Amino acid sequence: MTTELLMGNDAIGRGLIEAGCQVAAAYPGTPSTEILQSVINRRDEAVDPLHVEWSVNEKIAFEVALAASYTGKRSAAVMKQVGLNVAADPFMRTAYLGVKGGMLTIVADDPGPHSSQNEQDTRLFCLQGRVPVLDPSSPAEAKAMVEPAFALSEKYEMNVVLRPTTRVCHSRQSVALTTPLGPDRKSEFVPDTGRFCATPAFLPGLHKALNAKLEQIAKEPDWQPKMVEGDGSNKGLALVASGIAYANLVDLLAELELTGTVDLYQVLMPYPLNPDFIDTLQNSYTKVLVLEETYPVIEMQLAHPGAAGKLSGAVPKEGELTPDVLYTALADFLGLERQQNEAVQARGQRPSLCPGCPHRAAFYSIKKTFPDGIFPSDIGCYTLGMNLEAVHTVHCMGACISQGAGFYQAYRQDGGATPTVVVTIGDSTFFHAGIPALINAVVQDARIIVVILDNATTAMTGGQPVPHMGIAAGGRKTKAIAIMPLVKAAGVEFIESCDPYHQARFEELLRKADEHTRHENGGVAVLIAKHGCLMDPAVRKAQEAAPVQITEDCLGCGQCVEIFECPALSMDKENETARVDGDRCHGCGTCIAVCPAQAIVEGGMI
């Protein structure tokens, strides 16, 4: 056996390879993205053939993995916590219908949240869906759980969820590697219509069987809470923790020289929780401190009269349980002295679009052309268009088009003038959840402009391929699904494409699109803002640079810095003029049109 220093997501990816997983599908999203990328990078280490795909959304990824499981092979669907909402429909039904080959749904939660719309807790989702969920506390433990989780899934023919959190996904640890398995399973799908096509008549029986399985799983010896017994100095007290909160608690107790002074339980499987464990806590301890991210899933199941946790208010109801937060809860529970100078959370610099990002030029033109417009947008790096005042709403994947249509319908029924509604959506998000919304907007005669920000990648999560590029996971060539014919097939009659760097032309097309939405025979207008992401070295290399400099005509108004917000521009406080950072400027030249004094001109150094 060898060891290797691995990031948590890489460890999980390696775990899938070692466990003989043969189909892995995902939609990228922080903090889960690197899991599938690890499988792609390591697929040569797999013993049996392995299919890997970036699916167009999480529902598709789940259904692909589910079907592979029906054939008897091990499979995995990977997503972040809000992605589980997208996959919720098949996820909930699978709890009743079950699987054949082992199936893991790996859902990475984001307490904090660092890069998500909310802090939802997948464990609570599993409790509602009645699906077993495992909560690793470290990269090594996350990897170690993968193979036995597959075994558990196969033993009970149930989908099992592995739920790492951000700190587990992105921290690094020495991880033991083992020889990858080669189950050598051939696909063998045996039809079972009473199960896999279950009509409502079958569901009560399947639900009863599910409940029976959960009772057995709750008592599986390998997944019981682990106890580190105290020395009796804190008799009647117990600490209960799961996930990364457990790992932080162990470190904190060691730092305070309190290790072994109080009974400590690590909960590996928060749901279903063993009833004997619940009885033990209720009968043996007068007070129990429950430490878990993000919701009180364990605390709620314990129903302990002396429980201190999120429900009691002893532990914060939101955010990560970092060591300083844990210390406060532990100090109150054990009667320790509180820390005097608690850390003040300082707010860092707000994020902004990259230098030369084509989205910035598109947003600037949209705001300039329709200063009084309504601008729904979506999930992606382009959400940062809010800094340019060209993004007014961001809700969830694909919601922007429906919201744009909703804004239009609300204003239209008043009978007065309707504001221009300009929706912005990325190319990956368009494929993910935008197409049905576009069809609906057309059918319902919404008069909106939809700008598809096509930068030929899923930029925010690290550049995963999108369907219109003709590239699949791992670089394999595949059929390219062009956006424009899709838009046309959705019934849109105004479709144009333009590089947003060409601002004058882009703004001309925006005005024409507005005219189309207001014409008696008009409708939805779509403008594709097409320019590659500059995070791609090939795009930067192919791009013609137009070096810029600041002339003495600069008024020091700061408009280029404050409104355009390119990181390559800043204010020289001493001279009270703008300046260009040549190391960051990509020479896109889109800032030239921003300066009211025409003081930004070509001719700088790149």
Residue 544 in this model has a pLDDT that exceeds 90: no
Asked if residue 199 lies in contact with residue 193, where contact means CB atoms within 8 angstroms, the answer is no
| Structure confidence at residue 492 as a pLDDT band (50, 70, 90) | very high
Q: Alpha helix (H) ranges present in 218-348?
A: 243-255, 275-284, 297-302, 323-334
- Contact of 526 with 452, CB cutoff 8 Å: yes
Return mean pLDDT, the chain. Answer: 94
Question: 0.85 cut: is pTM over it?
Answer: yes
pLDDT given for residue 606 in this prediction = 46
Per-residue pLDDT of 243-297, as tens digits, reads 999 999 999 999 999 999 999 999 999 999 999 999 999 999 999 999 999 999 9
Distance CA 365, CA 362 (A): 5
pLDDT at 24: 96
pLDDT at 3 over 70: yes
Query: What is the reported pLDDT for 602?
Result: 85
The per-residue pLDDT for 347 is 55
Label residue 367 by pLDDT band (50, 70, 90). very high
- Dump the DSSP string for 250-285: HHHHHHTT-TTSSEEEE-S--BSPPHHHHHHHHHH-
Find the mean pLDDT for residues 527-536. 94
Mean pLDDT, residues 446-466:
94
Predicted pLDDT of residue 343: 56
* Per-residue b or e along 433-468, where b marks 16 or more CB atoms closer than 10 Å to that residue's CB: bbbebbbebbeeebbbbbbbbbbbbbbbbeebbbbb
Residues 6+ apart with CB under 8 A from 539: 456, 532, 533
Reply yes or no on whether the pLDDT at 157 is more than 50. Answer: yes
Token duo for residue 605: 């150094």
Q: How confident is the model at residue 553 (pLDDT cuts 50, 70, 90)?
A: very high
H/E element, 308 = strand 307-308
| Rounded Cα gap, residues 133 and 107, in angstroms | 10
- Residue 171: which of 218, 138, 132 has the closest Cα? 138
Q: Phi/psi zone of residue 123: left (φ > 0), alpha (ψ -120 to 50 degrees), beta? A: alpha
Question: Taking residues 211-224, what's their average pLDDT?
Answer: 97
pLDDT for the residue numbered 116: 87
Q: What is the mean pLDDT of residues 92-118?
A: 94
CA dist., res. 365 & res. 390, Å (int): 9
Question: What distance in Å separates the CA atoms of residue 67 and residue 189, rounded to the nearest whole number?
Answer: 9
Q: Rounded mean pLDDT of 423-433? A: 96
Q: Is the pLDDT of residue 537 over 90?
A: no
